[in-house]
Every structure is written in structure tokens, then in C-alpha cells.
């Protein structure tokens, strides 16, 4: 059998394109901002993770350009060898200080941060307890570690405790959770997780990709929100969201971080984050530390939209984050809704299986601290109009396939 047969026979995307409800890979031709240029027309961007709106901040852009002028476009090697810049070390120092940890180290992407830490710290004789709605990078890190994965029901602390209680006490144990779950926008139950980790001798890791710059009074993340910054063993974060760049990091005890630097294959065998990305993330971090009011602005924007959508009669998944999902239930209705919104000047993200459970498909909207109310009102009015006029799945299929 030809290995490529699966590729030649794959027609799901082709059918969606032919049916006019393929919602992916829209071409962006402007900065990532509250208004963007996509495929020749202007749309309101409420599908970005640029939570603090810093991708267009003059200081962040300037830092990125100056770093390229000074260091060139790349490092041409891994951190382990010739790829460590003074920029990397300065950013790591400030990240650790910001999060109240002894040390931090940065990876080329957020995905690799999870992959690199989990695969290095755990092995065949260890157990990893993972929330069922954790990010894919966590699951892939567990696979690479060869540790035994024990999944617990989403945010179900009773289920987690039963599984911790039944575990071999002689094995190393790691509990891993998203801080802010990326699709639903809900928070992990950190106080309960801390208690269970202590009770059963487990270590606790929080993926705060969507929590950094978003949660807590000063944007230090989920642990700050719950006043538990000293109780989380490992904090993971990304630069591609609030910090307006690309890359990721882990922060924790110095000995643990040093171990990762010498044992993580995705860290050792991957080229280091480029100078421009490093400088941009560092500049964004400095803006966040200097202007914590951006976090409060983001909270106000999110609350404004949450109340606005509910007052307009839409059913949303409740949260306190800038990720606000709107239920559309089936894949085809979700994709058609997203495409129709795009044509009407609003960009949102479709969430369908396996990213969500069957029957719980949704439109994922996400907001920036810099969104003005007039754009938000326009976006909400458009969403309501499109969803109220959206036909059933049967009607869509009949119409599209005629």
C-alpha cells in the first residue's frame, strides 16, 4: 500500500471548500490589530490572542527592529551550543522575577515549552495526571516522555483525587493543567489542585499560555488570580499571546530549570528563538510591568462583551476571561457562521471536534485591551444578526449541495 494513499483520498477540506463553508487559512495582509486587512477587505478582529494589543506597540516594534540590526536575523544554533544571546539571559531573568520564581528558560515556541519540559522531567516510571481539555502540546509532551498518562474529567477534582489515591505512591507524579483553557475560556480550579498535589505528593504544573498578561491584578497569571503564586511548581507561558511575539518559557526552581537545560531534547536540538522575537517579548513584558492597567482594561472589555452578548439573547459559555465562546453546536453550522461573519466584516474562530465535544461546537471569540466600544458593538450586532438568520444544518446541506 502506498504511504500517501491517505493523503490522496482525504477529501474533507475539498468538500468544505466546494460547499462554501471552509473557514481556515484566511490571508492576513496587515498588522495584528483590532481592525485588520484580510483578503482585500477590512474586518474587526475578535479571533486573536493578542490580548494586550501589544503587537503594534511602538516600543515592541522598535525593540524587534533594533535587535535584528544588532544581532542579525537568527542565531544559527541551539541554546545548548552557539545560540545563547545575552538577550535570552536578560529575558529569562526578568520572567523569573516577574513570576516570583528562581529561574526560567525560554524555548522557540510555546508548544515546544510544554513538549520540552514534560518529556524531560518525566519518564517510564512516572505518572502524569492531565485535564481532558488540556492543550495538545501537553498531550504530545506526555507521549514523548513515555510516562503513564492518567486523564481526569475536565475540572473534576473528585475524579482527579480518586485517580491520585489509586496511584502507586512510589512513582513520581505530575499534575498538569491549563490555567485558562484555550477553547472554553474557563479557569482551572487551582486552589483544589494545590491541595491535592500536596496531599498526594505530586508536583503541579500550570500552562498559563492564556493566563499571562490576562489574569491577576498585575497580569502575572492564574496563580496571581488565586493568590497562589508560591504554590505552583512550574509555570509555562508563551510569547505569542500577551507578549506580542513568538516563543515560550518555563519557570520554577533553579535546579529543575537547570536539569531541563541539560536533558530536554526539544531544547537541546532546536535552534534558539531569534533576536527579534526575544527583544519583542522582552519589550512587551516591560510594558506589562510598567502598565498593569492594561490588564484591567482587558477585563473591562471582556465584561462589556460578555454582558452585551447576553443582553442580545445569545447563549455563551460563562467565564471571566477574554475568551468568550458562543455555542453553534454542529460543525457545519459553525463553519458557515464563521464564514458568513467574515463576509460581514467580523473575524472569529470556529471550534469543532476534536477541539470540542460532539454537539458542543462553538465560535471562539477573544478580545484585546485596545478594542474600542464602537467596534465591539458593531461586532456583537453582526454576530446576533448572522446567528439569528443562520439556517439549520439540514437546510445548509440542501442549499449547498444543490
Domains of the chain: 10-55+292-399 (3.90.1150.10), 75-273 (3.40.640.10)
pLDDT value at position 397?
64
Q: Under a CB-based contact definition with an 8 Å cutoff, are residues 135 and 207 in contact?
A: yes
Q: Under a CB-based contact definition with an 8 Å cutoff, are residues 176 and 128 in contact?
A: yes
Strand ranges for 89-188 from DSSP E: 103-107, 126-131, 148-152, 172-178
Q: Cα separation of 169 and 149, whole Å?
A: 15
Q: Which residue has the cell 503541579?
A: 204
- Residues annotated as catalytic (active site), given as ranges: 182, 210, 241
pLDDT value at position 22?
87
pLDDT value at position 364?
95
pLDDT value at position 139?
96
Q: Where are the alpha helices (DSSP H) in 124-264?
A: 136-145, 157-165, 190-199, 222-225, 254-263
pLDDT value at position 320?
94
Nearest to 208 by CA among 238, 232, 176, 228: 238
pLDDT value at position 42?
96
| SS3 call for 206 | strand
pLDDT value at position 160?
98
Sheet holding 148-152, edge to edge: 103-107, 248-252, 234-238, 203-207, 172-178, 126-131, 148-152
Task: Report the Cα–Cα distance between both ends of the chain, in Å, rounded.
Answer: 36
pLDDT tens across the length of the chain (402 residues): 899 999 999 998 888 888 888 889 999 999 999 999 999 999 999 999 999 999 999 999 999 999 999 999 999 999 999 999 999 999 999 999 999 999 999 999 999 999 999 999 999 999 999 999 999 999 999 999 999 999 999 999 999 999 999 999 999 999 999 999 999 899 999 999 999 999 999 999 999 999 999 999 999 999 999 999 999 999 999 999 999 999 999 999 999 999 999 999 999 999 999 999 999 999 999 999 999 999 999 999 999 999 999 999 998 888 899 999 998 988 888 999 999 999 999 999 999 888 787 888 899 999 999 999 999 999 999 999 999 988 776 666 665 544
Q: Cα separation of 179 and 205, whole Å?
A: 9
Amino acid at each position: 500500500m502506498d504511504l500517501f494513499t491517505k493523503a490522496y483520498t482525504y477529501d474533507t477540506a475539498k468538500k468544505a471548500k466546494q460547499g462554501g463553508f471552509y473557514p481556515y487559512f484566511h490571508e492576513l495582509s496587515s498588522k495584528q490589530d483590532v481592525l485588520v486587512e484580510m483578503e482585500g477587505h477590512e474586518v474587526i478582529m475578535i479571533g486573536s490572542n493578542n490580548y494586550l494589543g501589544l503587537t503594534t506597540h511602538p516600543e515592541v516594534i522598535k525593540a524587534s527592529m533594533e535587535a535584528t540590526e544588532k544581532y542579525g536575523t537568527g542565531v544559527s544554533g541551539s541554546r545548548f551550543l552557539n545560540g545563547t544571546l545575552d538577550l535570552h539571559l536578560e529575558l529569562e531573568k526578568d520572567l523569573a522575577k516577574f513570576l516570583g520564581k528562581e529561574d526560567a528558560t525560554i524555548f522557540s515556541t510555546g508548544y515546544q515549552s510544554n513538549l520540552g519540559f514534560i518529556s524531560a522531567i518525566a519518564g517510564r516510571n512516572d505518572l502524569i495526571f492531565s485535564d481532558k481539555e488540556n492543550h495538545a502540546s501537553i498531550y504530545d509532551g506526555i507521549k514523548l516522555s513515555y510516562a503513564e498518562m492518567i486523564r481526569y474529567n475536565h475540572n473534576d477534582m473528585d475524579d482527579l483525587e480518586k485517580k491520585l489515591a489509586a496511584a502507586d505512591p512510589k512513582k513520581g507524579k505530575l499534575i498538569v493543567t491549563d490555567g485558562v483553557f484555550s477553547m472554553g475560556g474557563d479557569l482551572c480550579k487551582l486552589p483544589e489542585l494545590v491541595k491535592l498535589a500536596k496531599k498526594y505528593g505530586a508536583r503541579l504544573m500550570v500552562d498559563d499560555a492564556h493566563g499571562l498578561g490576562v489574569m491577576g491584578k498585575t497580569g502575572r497569571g492564574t496563580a496571581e488570580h488565586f493568590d497562589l503564586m508560591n504554590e505552583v511548581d512550574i509555570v509555562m507561558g508563551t510569547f505569542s499571546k500577551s507578549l506580542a511575539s513568538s516563543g515560550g518559557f518555563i519557570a520554577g526552581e533553579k535546579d529543575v530549570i537547570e536539569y531541563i537545560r541539560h536533558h530536554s531534547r526539544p531544547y537541546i536540538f532546536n535552534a534558539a528563538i531569534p533576536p527579534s522575537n526575544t527583544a519583542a517579548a522582552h519589550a512587551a513584558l516591560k510594558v506589562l510591568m510598567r502598565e498593569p492597567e492594561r490588564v484591567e482594561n482587558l477585563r473591562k472589555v471582556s465584561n462589556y462583551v460578555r454582558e452585551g452578548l447576553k443582553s442580545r439573547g445569545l447563549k455563551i459559555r460563562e467565564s471571566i476571561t477574554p475568551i468568550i465562546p458562543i455555542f453553534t453546536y454542529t460543525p457545519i453550522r459553525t463553519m458557515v457562521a464563521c464564514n458568513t461573519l467574515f463576509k460581514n466584516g467580523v473575524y472569529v474562530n470556529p471550534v469543532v471536534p476534536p477541539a470540542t465535544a460532539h454537539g458542543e461546537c462553538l465560535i471562539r471569540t477573544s478580545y484585546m485591551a485596545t478594542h474600542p466600544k464602537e467596534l465591539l458593538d458593531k461586532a456583537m450586532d453582526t454576530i446576533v444578526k448572522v446567528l439569528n438568520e443562520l439556517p439549520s444544518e439540514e437546510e445548509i446541506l440542501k442549499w449547498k449541495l444543490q
